[in-house]
Amino acid sequence: MYSGVQIRTGSNPKIRRNKIWGGQNGGILVYNSGLGCIEDNEIFDNAMAGVWIKTDSNPTLRRNKIHDGRDGGICIFNGGRGLLEENDIFRNAQAGVLISTNSHPILRKNRIFDGFAAGIEITNHATATLEGNADF
Q: Give the per-residue pLDDT at 55.
A: 97
CB neighbour list of residue 94: distance below 8 Å, 6 or more residues apart: 49, 71, 72, 115, 116, 117
Furthest C-alpha separation in the chain? 36
Q: Give the per-residue pLDDT at 44.
A: 98
Q: Give the per-residue pLDDT at 23.
A: 87
**Rounded CA gap, 105 and 109, in Å?**
13
Our count of domains for the chain comes to: 1
Instruction: Identify the sign of the CA torsion 102, 25, 73, 121.
Output: negative
pLDDT digits (tens, 9 = 90+) for 95-113: 999 999 999 999 999 999 9
Number of H helices, E strands in the chain: 0, 18
Q: Give the per-residue pLDDT at 70.
A: 95
Domain encompassing residue 56: 5-135
Residues of the chain with pLDDT under 70: 1
Q: Give the per-residue pLDDT at 48.
A: 95
Q: Give the per-residue pLDDT at 31.
A: 98
